Every structure is written in structure tokens, then in C-alpha cells.
Amino acid sequence: MTESKKTKQAGITRRSVIKGLSTAAGAGAVALAAPGIVRRVSAAGPIRIGVISPLSGDWTIVGKAHFTGFKMATDEINAKGGVLGRKFELIAGDYKSDSRLVVEQANRLIRQEKVDFVAGTMSSADRNAAAPVVTKTDKILLYPTFYEGQEKEYFPGVCNKNLFMFGPVPSQQVFPHLDYMIKTHGKKFFMLGSDYAWPRVTNQVTKPKLAAAGGEVVGEVYTPFNTPQYESVLRQIRASGANVIFYSLVGPDSITFRNLLQASGAHKDHVIWTVGDEEFLTTALGPDVSAGDYASFDYFMSIKHPNNKKFLDTYRAEAGPDAVLNTVAAGMYNAAHMAAMAIEKSGEVSTDALREGLKGLTFDGAPQGSVHMRADDHQLVLPSYLMRVRKGWTSAEDMFEQAHVVERAEPSPANCDLPL
């Protein structure tokens, strides 16, 4: 908490310093009474980016990683002199982990702070809230989180030419590892998730792929948020003889269920494959309950890619030696670097230039490996890692071991009117 205050204050100080400097420069220019000089001064000013992060409220910790991921990248870019001779300036929009405040922050950043583009938001609901604002004002939004994929009926939250997606979708997170899981643990899958859009859509698109890979669904249950008892669900899972619990319970519910699975001695008969429990949640589970289970994402702190070491070192220097991050922070980091590359490539900072620059862009410096922004549907082609939770892990860094890695996971084409 105090740390988040510190970052916020630092942000404000930095911003006011820069503001002060540009005002001074402006005053000097006015004194010269030469409008031409004023224009040149402002053109060489910083490129302003609005970063919409949940820096307080329920998601403070993840939100800080989310913001820091982006800031790390812009610090790296600024240290090399910026883009087109201009530095990046970040303006934080804290929406307090409340989707309803996203609209307010997006409006403030774009209309008052006059940012050149925005990055961030966490959940799909957040992104859907920000999307109408960026559509109306014609700004680009860079979205970092894993999510359910694009369906044109949900425009403008998806299938939007102003949105670029830097997190994985189920076809990347899940499909590449189905064969491995069936071969290693068996073909019977029990699908258990929290009752909202992302788990349902993930399971729905996974089912045909699972069947094609020779697997079968032996049960499917969605439970409401804050369910205190999972005894009945567990009995259903035991009776189904499932080999794999394909798992998208989130937050406290995930912990309640996994505690019960372990406590009841059923964990040895069923392995969990989660598509939601990353470093933060696994930390809250502890090593005893989580050992032996699988998780799949585009990024983990434990992956062995050479880019990752430098990424983690920089992150630690920024956020402290024990700081934890997850896929979302990596998504934000990639978003900032790729935006810089896009601006460099197209030679200007306008919305159109950024959009054209991002389409088809490849970034080899991503912590998870090489990534590529698909031109048609603005979906990032990413590596996909299936990781096993290590027995007796001690920190987020040695939490997982690589089980199955796909270096280039192509997402299924978005269900939109393509190209965007």
C-alpha cells in the first residue's frame, strides 16, 4: 500500500516536473513572440501515454505489476533517447479495481490529459468499458490480459480497429497442450469453472478440440463466486473418474476448492490444469496444495527463455527483490515496446500511424520469446507454456517447471469482419 502511494507520488512529481519544464519552455517561446518556435517546442515534447491500471482496491498488487511492466519498457526506451527524438511520458489512470471507473479514467486521460494513446485495463469488463471511449475519440488501446477471444457481437469491446490484444486467447493457452495432457494423464476431462463469460467461453471452444484430440468431457460445472463448500462438486468429479480437472475457478473460490481437493486426499487421483491461477494465486495456495498441478499461459516467471532473465532483473530493480509479476505485466511490457517500434517505423505519433505500425510487427525482445502482432485481427502470436507446479517451491521464481512448450502459438482467427 505504502509502496503504491510512493509510485503514485513519484509519478505526480515527475509529471509536474515535466509540466513545469514545458511551461518554462513555452514562456520562453512566448517571450520571443514567435509562434513557429512554440509549435516546434511542443512537437519535440514527450509522447504522452495514458496507463489505465488498478493501482488501488482489490487488485492493487497485480495492478502495480501491470503498471510497472509498462513503465519498465518506457524507461528502457527513454534511456536510449526515446522514439523519434521524443521521450515517453506516462500518465497513470487509477480506476481503483472498479470497472465503472474505467470510463472516467479513459475520458480524463484522453480528453483532459490529451494523451496520444492509452494502454491497460485488466479484465474484459474493464476493456469493454474503455472501448467506447477510445472508439469515439479515435485513440488506440493496448490491452495486455489473457481473455476469451473476439466475437463481433461484442463490438466495441473486441473486433475494434482501435484495440490491440497482447494477451493469449484459449486457442493459444489451451489447444497446444491438449495432446500432451491426454498422453500424460489420460483422456477424461472434468471442466470446472467460475460462473461467468471467460470460463464458459474457454470451455466451449476447448470441447471440440479436446474431442478431436481423443479426449472426452466427463463433467462440466460452473459455480457462483464465493461458494464456501465444494464437497458435492468433488464427489461428482470422483464419480466421473476424471483424469484431468480442466480448471477455471478464480480468486478465493479456486483456493477453497484446491484446499478441499488436497485435504480430502483426492488430489492424487486427479490432476488440475488451470488456465487462470498464475504466480499470485499460486503464492496464496502455498506449495503443499499446488504441487504437481499444471498451469498454462504465454508467460511465467519460471520460464527458461534467455530474454526472461534480463526482464526479471530489471523488474526486481524497479519493484524490489521479492516482487512477483505475471503474464499481465509481460503483456504490458510488450505493448509499450511494440508501440515504440510502431511509432519508429511509421515516423509519426497519430492513431493511424500507430495502428499501421503495429499491424504485422514482430518483437524479438519479449520476455517469453518472439511475439508477432497479427495484422488482420490485432491478436498477438505468442509462445505458449504448459508448466507443472514444482514440489516444495519457495518463491514465484522456482514455482513452476516447464512441461510442454510451444514457441509459436497461432491464435484461431478472431470471429470479426476481417481485416479490422
Partner 1 sequence: MDALSLAVSVAMDAVLVTLVLAMAALGLALIYGLIGVINLGHGAMLTIGAYVTWATTHAGIPFAAAVILAALAVALIGLAFEHFVVRHFYDQPFETLLITWGFFMITTEVIKIIFGTTMHPVTSPVTTPLDLGIAVLPAYRVLVAGISLTLIFLVAAVFYRTGLGVQIRAVIQNREVAGLMGVNIGRMYKLVFVVGCGLAGLAGGLLAPILSVGPYMGNIYLVRSFFVVIMGGVGQILGGTIVGSFLIGGSETIFALFSSQVFAQTIVFGLAIVVLRFRPHGILNRR
Interface residues with partner 1 (CB under 8 A) are: 1, 57-61, 195, 221-224, 226-233, 235-236, 238-239, 251-252, 255-256, 259-260, 262-266, 280-281, 283-286, 288-289
Q: How far is the CB of 197 from partner 1 (least distance, A)?
A: 16
Helix (H, G, I), strand (E, B) or coil at 407: strand
CA atoms within a 13 Å half-sphere pointing along the CA-CB vector of 223:
22
DSSP 56: S
User: Closest CB to partner 1 among 286 and 365?
Assistant: 286
Q: How far is the CB of 220 from partner 1 (least distance, A)?
A: 10
Q: How far is the CB of 58 from partner 1 (least distance, A)?
A: 5
Q: How far is the CB of 277 from partner 1 (least distance, A)?
A: 11
User: Closest CB to partner 1 among 2 and 112?
Assistant: 2
User: Closest CB to partner 1 among 206 and 282?
Assistant: 282
ω into 383 cis (within 30 of 0): no
Q: How far is the CB of 411 from partner 1 (least distance, A)?
A: 31
Q: What one-character-per-residue DSSP string does 161-216 give? A: TTEEE-S--HHHHTGGGHHHHHHHH-SEEEEEEESSHHHHHHHHHHHHHHHHTT-E
User: Closest CB to partner 1 among 213 and 291?
Assistant: 291
Q: How far is the CB of 372 from partner 1 (least distance, A)?
A: 34
Instruction: Say if strands 88-94 and 117-120 run parallel, antiparallel, or are unpaired.
Output: unpaired
User: Closest CB to partner 1 among 228 and 321?
Assistant: 228
User: Closest CB to partner 1 among 106 and 233?
Assistant: 233
Tell me the backbone φ, ψ of residue 188, rounded to 5 degrees.
Answer: -90, 115
Q: How far is the CB of 241 from partner 1 (least distance, A)?
A: 10
User: Closest CB to partner 1 among 55 and 106?
Assistant: 55
415-418: long-range pairs with CB below 8 Å, 24+? 415/149, 415/150, 415/151, 415/152, 415/159, 416/150, 416/151, 416/152, 416/155, 416/158, 416/159, 416/377, 417/152, 417/159, 418/376, 418/377
How far is the C-alpha of 249 from the C-alpha of 409, rounded, in Å?
24
